[in-house]
Every structure is written in structure tokens, then in C-alpha cells.
Amino acid sequence: MDLLLSTLLSPMVLFFALGLSAALLKSQMTIPEAFAKGLSVYLMMAIGLKGGVEMARSEISLHVWSVFAAGILLSFVLPLLAFTALRLTSKLDRIDAAATAAHYGSISIVTFVAATQVIYAAGLQTSGYMVAVAALMEAPAIMTALLLAQCGQQKPPSVAGSESGELYREVLLNASVVVLVGALAIGWISGESGMERIAPFFVDPFQGVLCLFLLDMGLSAGRGLRQGWRQLDFSALVFGLYMPLISAAIASGIAWVLRMPTADMALLMVLAASASYIAVPAAMRLALPKAKPSIYLTLSLGVTFPFNLAVGIPLYLFIAKLIQG
């Protein structure tokens, strides 16, 4: 309860709530798109650099490779569960269900960043390679979603030839993957000495930049809820709340088998429970143009993201502590 309250009353959650409330109340508050994109690049660079420095301190062991494999497996499998749940319980058609399922197999880097701050505030230290796990979990879910969308279709979605190449470039070379992996490599190569030189820019201002970004995310989530909720039935909205819990539970079991420490277990649960709203929507626009963004963005950004930020992250950390004793 103390962890939940401290998370709910933290500046980053309160700024998100401010943006959400402003959008729902139809305030004219806006943050320039270019500035918001700059904030997201900054956050991914900062977390990637820190992860690279942490990786430089330790060797890449068989255990680390096992965690990498687990992350990729989760990203492939979770969309299958999400798709099945949506088709059985909601009125979404195959295309919309597949597109939505892709979001719940990929990850939200902002949720990941927010979780690392909560974990550090709890006095725990995560492993640097978890940043690499986040990058590896971006793309596989999109491939699963395309297979799900094609099954049962007389004519599969048009993603052939040059369109297919464009999709793969979008998936593998989207900004979040490039910046994350690139910053991770730079941090790994430059090490602690290199990080010390740029710490005044990438370490000290981090919390303030995160608050600004979450204010913008709150505005986006509020607008999505206001505009897209009419296209979603109750069962689909509830899916946005229970699917993260199912994904986190599966991830906790895998983390327990791999004997991951408490902080890393909590982060793997967060990655599994989060839903993408940057890389996957861009890929879905290319791969499944008939899918409705008002459905998958409302669920991922308007329902699951606030739930994870306010309730999910402290809950996953509590469960990780409980499992590890």
C-alpha cells in the first residue's frame, strides 16, 4: 500500500493525471509535437546509455542469453493470448483483434522507464541488460499479429514486395529501436568514464524531462479515450485491464524459473504487461491499414498505459518481492 501511494503521489504520475484530466475536460492545453518527440528521444537515449554502462560492468553470461530468449518468446506468444481473448469476449473482427493483440505483445518504453524509477526509489538495482530485453521485445509481436490477421482470410493483407520491405524497415529500424540499441551500444563502449562527461545532461534532468513527457502522454491518452471509446464494447475495455495482469503473471513464472533477481523480475513483468503505442501503431498502419487506430490506440494508450502507471507497476514490484521472499 505504501508503494502504491508513493507511486500515485509521485510527480510523474501526477503530471500524467494533469494531462489526462485536461484532455477529458476539453482544455486547449497542447505540447508541440516536435518538442514531444524530442522528449521521447531524450528518454530513450538516457535509459539506453545507463543500460549500456551497466552492461559494461558485467559479462554477458548464459543467464543473460536465457533472459533475452525469454523476452523474445514472450513477445511472440502474448499476442496469441490477447487475440484469443479478444475474439472470444469482444465484438472486434479478426483484423482489429490482430492489430490490437500486436500492441500487447510489444512493449511501452515509457512504462519501462517509469518502472525503473519506481524500482530505484524502492532501493533496488536493475541489470543493464534489461534495456536490451526491451529492445528485443519490440518487433516479434508484429510478426505474430500479421500471421493472425492472415489466417482465415481469402486474400491476406497486402504486405508484399516493396510494401513488405517498408514494413520490415519500419519494424526493425523504427526510432525507438534505433535509439535504444544505439544508446545501449554507446554506453557499453564508452563505459562509466564516458557517462560521467554527459551526466549533467542525461542524469540530472531525467526526472524533470520524464514529467514533461508524461504530461503529453496524459493529453494523448485523454483525447484517445474521449474520441475512441464509442467504438469499444465493455468487454474490450475490460481487456485493457486484465490482459496486463495475465501477461505479468506469465512473465513472473518465467522469471522465477530463470532465477532472476527481484528488480529484474519486476521489469520483465512490466515489459510483458505494457502495451506499445509508438512502434506498433506505425507498423499497423502499413501492415493492416483496415485496422482502426481508434480501437487499438484507445486500449493501449487510454486504458492500459494509465492502469500500469498508477496500479500495475507497484503491483508487479510487490509480487516480485513476494515471490523472491
Q: Which residue has the higher pLDDT, 62 or 173?
A: 62
pLDDT at 320 over 90: yes
Q: Can you name the CATH fold of 2-19+32-324?
A: Na+/H+ antiporter like fold (1.20.1530)
Among the residue ranges 72-76, 118-122, 147-151, 197-201, the one predicted with the least confidence is 147-151
Closest CA to 43 of 195, 194, 199, 202: 202
Dist. CA 223–CA 133, nearest whole Å: 31
- What integer pLDDT is reported at residue 165 of this predicted model? 64
| Distance (Å, whole) CA 296 – CA 96 | 8
pLDDT at 167 over 80: no
pLDDT at residue 70 tops 80: yes
- Give the integer Cα–Cα distance in Å for 139 and 27: 35
pLDDT in tens, 250-281: 999 999 999 999 999 999 999 999 998 776 77
pLDDT at 81 over 90: yes
* Residue 1: per-residue pLDDT: 57
- Other C-beta atoms lying within 10 Å of the C-beta of residue 322: 10
pLDDT in tens, 281-304: 767 776 777 888 778 888 888 889
pLDDT digits (tens, 9 = 90+) for 192-251: 889 899 999 998 898 898 888 888 878 877 887 777 667 778 898 999 999 999 999 999
User: If you write DSSP's letter for every residue of 185-232 in order, what string do you get?
Assistant: HHHHHHHHHHHHHHHHHHTTTHHHHHHHHHHHHHHHHHHHHHHHGGG-
Q: Domain locations in the chain?
A: 2-19+32-324
Q: pLDDT higher for 97 or 140? A: 97
Give the per-residue pLDDT at 4. Answer: 60
Confidence check: pLDDT of 53 > 50: yes
Q: Residue 41's pLDDT band (boundaries 50, 70, 90)?
A: confident
pLDDT of residue 111 exceeding 60, the answer is: yes
- For the chain, the average pLDDT equals 84
Q: What pLDDT does 156 receive? A: 47
Q: Of 133, 173, 164, 169, which Cα lies nearest the Cα of 146?
A: 164
C-alpha cell at 162: 516493396
Per-residue pLDDT, 227: 72
CB burial of residue 197 (10 Å; 0-12, 13-18, 19+): exposed
Among the listed ranges 54-63, 111-120, 242-251, 306-315, which one has the minimum average pLDDT value?
54-63
Specify the higher pLDDT residue, 190 or 157. 190
Four-CA torsion 87, 146, 294, 88, nearest 10 degrees: 0
pLDDT at 100: 93
Which has the higher per-residue pLDDT, 216 or 181? 216
What interhelical angle do 62-89 and 262-273 show, nearest 10? 30
* pLDDT at position 48: 79
Q: How far apart are CA 87 and CA 71, in angstroms?
A: 25
Q: What is the SS3 assignment for 39?
A: helix
